[in-house]
Structure 1
Amino acid sequence: MSTDTLQLRRTAIDTYHENVAYMHRECGIYRAEGFQALSKIQVSLDDTKVLAVLNVVDDASIVQPGELGLSEQAFEQFSCEEGCLVTINHAEPPKSMDAVRRKINGERLDQADFNSICNDIVESRYSKMEIAAFLVATGQNSLDRDELLYLTRAMLQSGDRIDWDEPLVADKHCIGGIPGNRTSMLVVPIVAAHGMLIPKTSSRAITSPAGTSDTMEMLCEVNLNPEQLHDIVRRERGCLAWGGTARLAPVDDMLIAVERPLSIDSQSQLVASILSKKLAAGSTHLLIDIPVGPSAKVRQMRQALALRKLFEFVGDRLNLHLEVMITDGRQPIGRGIGPALEARDVMLVLQNDPGAPEDLRQKSLHLAGRIIEFDPDVRGGQGYAIARDILESGRACAKMNEIIQAQGSKPIDLTPGSLCHEVVAQNDGIVTEIDNLQMAKIARMAGAPMMKRAGVDLLKKLGNPVKKGDVLYRIHAEFPADFTFAKDLAAQNHGYTLGDSVDLLKPLMAF
């Protein structure tokens, strides 16, 4: 073997949107070239070059002195088998870090700066520490609206774009923070049954008890390649799939991988993330749902109005027809929190079951109605009635079943986890508050979303009268350890406030 090459080894380590390389401390190249742990290296094989963060190991079972180990993320970028010979070089530092340092010092960046930063990030020239520096520098209120436009445009241009070759491609997005809010799984079949194109690609949960993809996965396959996605959408007019298989605004995924562990969630990054992804997915018309409530992501009306202005400013300049609905975020939507329980609620609404959660039904109809009014043949104000007729006639349920079959149906069993604990009221009263954050934490502690049947099933909602000993909600889990953790968390704070009817918080915004 040549002294300047190493044999490639797949370490089978998932490093989540970061290229990581592993080199043995006794490796001749490591010693000769002066590599250091956590430095960036360039790995080359023919015309393929991959930048990776170097980790140095002392265990030959991980990687031997003549080998270079690569994480799953990095290895998949080479079209070769293990044992191929690769060359290693020092990576040139990202030139765009100068712009990040200028932003840290309070300077204003231009379009070229953001293009350079996003290009370097998507080419893996930034370490996670450097990405964190960029996120902190641009977080909170340090971007003006023009800089936000530049960032969104740069993120959009970092990957591929889908062109559906239709004048109207609809989509919706909720900014999050409300457990059980599975309106997309009702909006898509209603809008698709109306005949409008609505290719819905969604994320998996990162900090919440369930994402749309986690819940839809209870019913069918969601990991679709781009070809499958196109075929299904052309045939059914809609889909509910995971968005991770397409290379749409990939820099956004790399930023999110750092944002989530740090709990960084600035308005600028939120707007740029959502709009870059939707535009890359080919959307021409977008409805944004901003829930407002004391334990929602947006807690005050003035924050919601400011956020709406940002969405409208950027959307208008990127030729996206965008509307914003400010909705009631005082409590979870529906009864179930967790993939199986949320899928159950969705199917009950689609089947027009009398026991279906009315708040989930009504919110979905209002959202679907607003999207249907994007149709130039629909008069303003008629959308809700059209959406209601599609749902009540069974056409929405039929369309959902067609989408499920097209994506690859699964045996449907929405039975919640067998370990069950009932949380009861300690006194009489009216339910005046439900803490969204605490309910989400309890559901996650019970195992959701990884354990699909884990979560929380709400029996009481805002305004319901409660007697001492009444069950407020049930915790479901699949494993004893998760079950114990969730019960202990609920014992510390069950998330409900009981009081008099005069204490009931009024919604900041009604439909």
Structure 2
Amino acid sequence: MDSLIVKDMGIDTHQEPVMYMRRDCHVCRAEGFTASTRVAVIHGEHSVIASMNVVDEAVLEQGYAGFSKAALERLQAAEGDYVTVGHAPVLESMQSVRKKIFGHKLSEAEITEIIEDISAHRYSDIEIASFLSVCAGSRLDVEEIIDLTDAMVACGKRLQWPQHRRVFDKHCIGGLPGNRTTPLLVSIASAAGLVMPKTSSRAITSPAGTADTMEALTTVNLELAEIQHTVTATGACLAWGGAVNLSPADDLMIRIERALDLDGEGQLIASVLSKKIAAGSTHVIIDIPVGETAKVRTERDANRLASLFTQVGAACGIFVRCIITDGTRPVGLGIGPVEEARDLLAVLQCQPQAPADLRERALLLTAHLFDLADGAGVEAGYAKAAKILDSEQAWLQFQRIAIAQGGMKTLPDAAYQHIEYALTAGTIRKVDNRQLAQLAKLAGAPSTPAAGVRLHVRVGATISAGTPLFTLFSNSTGERNYALEYYRNQSAIFTIEEAAG
């Protein structure tokens, strides 16, 4: 290996390490490196495999190598340090990826090797995308999903709760805008004494994940010790799982899934359950919304997914109960981190204008969780959950959790607001969940927390021409105009049955 001097290029390549080298660099010429070559870089005890980009001579001085922010962080290197550079080792696990491309089943050892390489940042983004794509759809059987789940757990840290025999959790598979029931359920259930160390993901294909919404309200980037402190103090937490290295391969793959707008069945199950197992959970509720424009389209698909969740959970030592729910329409009124936060606060605070459907879904899911805990039945669990919510015990508990995590934040306002009005009178028969979510994303959600949509009408409402349909929130005129252009070209977001006569 040859040595080069580190140059901080000041480039954010997100989680992918990138190295920049002059075409006439002595290392580049001696090793035969070309653009996109994978190179091994070593700095003291730290190393990284990076993708190489070739730059003009004016960009770098001779003898220097430039690095992205992600590469410097993993190398623990600063500008002026020396690094050694050489060819990256051949990844044997890529043979297994190619094997899967041709439709062959992967063994436990092959899946483990792939996940270990991804966790160690040995795969490029293109290689991760190849693995995710070939596993999408129904291309993984139940044994492969079990092996994938186990491998993802094994590559990260695990939370242990030896003082608690049962630890509860909940997850929604998504596809339903505004369905922010998790903070409500955690607050109600932990107020009743259930232990819930809830670690959530950021959005993959949606305008907001639970972690995105909670980050608008409190700190979610907690270290393991901080999670343990919060759970010890309050019985629960509402943290981002990616900050604590629970199933780290999952976080790397989620980033690529987000770019591909892809959430394959096997990967989805392994992603969810690996995080639950790593968090120390023993009993989990899975919410599977079903609807024409939800992530799961049919009852048949939902039953298949529920069966897989249950089988994989049992094989991995965790009890899973799946609940198939209505996914035909958005939940609540807000879509996007801040707007969804406003809805869940309204429910917690028992405000008169709080979305009744969000409240109802949260109570139903909590009722099932209580039934798992005490076996008293869902009806009794519902009554118990409603009493805790209506007495504002859940709101007090939510505040305790937020304070333990760093305190409550003030919700920001978007720089720009635009109200869109109905052009015709009639009755709203349908709202397209996917297109509505895309509208919020084009406005800037979730990367801009205050961006998103607030609905002013619901399915079944009778409206007049000029009735406000929604308010669009954005932090730039460019995003606002981009989102509105999309809306005006997608007339099917709201299906309005015009009044007769």
Specify the TM-score bucket, using the shorter chain as the normaliser.
over 0.9
Q: Name the residue aligned to 1:354.
A: 352
Q: Is the 8 A contact 1:424 1:473 kept in 2?
A: no
State yes or no: 1:97 paired with 2:94: yes
Q: Is the 8 A contact 2:289 2:325 kept in 1?
A: yes
Q: Name the residue aligned to 1:504.
A: none
Q: Quick one: distance in 2 between partners of 1:219 and 1:125?
A: 35
State yes or no: 1:447 paired with 2:440: no
State yes or no: 1:77 paired with 2:74: yes
What is the RMSD of the two structures over their aligned residues, measured on CA atoms?
2.0
| 2:189 aligns with one of 188, 191, 194 | 191
| 1:146 aligns with one of 118, 143, 149 | 143
| Letter of the structure 1 residue corresponding to residue 395 of structure 2 | C
Shift of 1:72: 1.9
Shift of 1:78: 2.8
In structure 2, the CA distance between the partners of 1:107 and 1:493, relative to structure 1 (3 Å rule), is closer
In structure 2, the CA distance between the partners of 1:355 and 1:123, relative to structure 1 (3 Å rule), is same
| 1:438 aligns with one of 428, 435, 438 | 435
Q: Name the residue aligned to 1:322.
A: 320
Q: Is the 8 A contact 1:219 1:412 kept in 2?
A: yes
Q: Name the residue aligned to 2:45.
A: 47
TM-score, with structure 2 as normaliser: 0.94
Q: Name the residue aligned to 1:508.
A: none
For the residue of structure 2 that corresponds to 1:86, the secondary structure is: strand
Q: Is the 8 A contact 1:419 1:476 kept in 2?
A: yes
For the residue of structure 1 that corresponds to 2:402, the secondary structure is: helix
Q: Residues 51-106 of structure 1: CA distance to partner in whole angstroms, max 9, x if unpaired?
A: 21222222544x43322222222221233433222211211110112222222222
Shift of 1:418: 4.5
* Alignment of structure 1 residues 449-464 onto 2, 5 Å: 449-464=446-461
Q: Name the residue aligned to 2:205.
A: 207
In structure 2, the CA distance between the partners of 1:414 and 1:352, relative to structure 1 (3 Å rule), is farther
Shift of 1:394: 1.0
For the residue of structure 2 that corresponds to 1:375, the secondary structure is: helix
Shift of 1:285: 1.2
Q: Quick one: distance in 2 between partners of 1:427 and 1:173?
A: 38
* Alignment of structure 1 residues 302-317 onto 2, 5 Å: 302-317=300-315
State yes or no: 1:492 paired with 2:469: no
Q: Name the residue aligned to 2:219.
A: 221
Shift of 1:431: 1.7
Q: Residues 406-461 of structure 1: CA distance to partner in whole angstroms, max 9, x if unpaired?
A: 22224424656552223225122x22111111211222222222333222211211
What is the identity percentage for the equivalent residue pairs of Structure 1 and Structure 2? 42
In structure 2, the CA distance between the partners of 1:411 and 1:381, relative to structure 1 (3 Å rule), is closer
For the residue of structure 1 that corresponds to 2:106, the secondary structure is: coil
Q: Residues 233-291 of structure 1: CA distance to partner in whole angstroms, max 9, x if unpaired?
A: 21111121222211111111222222222233221111111111221122111111110
Shift of 1:12: 2.9
| Letter of the structure 2 residue corresponding to residue 261 of structure 1 | A
Shift of 1:159: 1.5
TM-score, with structure 1 as normaliser: 0.92
Q: Name the residue aligned to 2:477.
A: 480
In structure 2, the CA distance between the partners of 1:363 and 1:500, relative to structure 1 (3 Å rule), is farther
Q: Name the residue aligned to 2:22.
A: 24
Q: Name the residue aligned to 1:182.
A: 180
Deviates more, 1:238-247 or 1:122-131: 122-131
* Alignment of structure 1 residues 111-510 onto 2, 5 Å: 111-165=108-162, 166-376=164-374, 378=376, 381-413=379-411, 415=413, 418-428=416-426, 430-494=427-491, 495-499=493-497
For the residue of structure 1 that corresponds to 2:287, the secondary structure is: strand
Count of matched residue positions in the alignment of Structure 1 and Structure 2: 497
For the residue of structure 2 that corresponds to 1:487, the secondary structure is: helix
For the residue of structure 1 that corresponds to 2:144, the secondary structure is: helix
In structure 2, the CA distance between the partners of 1:46 and 1:449, relative to structure 1 (3 Å rule), is closer
Q: Is the 8 A contact 2:366 2:385 kept in 1?
A: yes
Q: Quick one: distance in 1 between partners of 2:236 and 2:10?
A: 35
Q: Is the 8 A contact 1:7 1:68 kept in 2?
A: yes
Q: Is the 8 A contact 2:161 2:280 kept in 1?
A: yes
Gaps of 5+ in 1: 502-511
Q: Quick one: distance in 1 between partners of 2:486 and 2:283?
A: 42
Q: Quick one: distance in 2 between partners of 1:312 and 1:410?
A: 36
Q: Quick one: distance in 2 between partners of 1:380 and 1:264?
A: 34
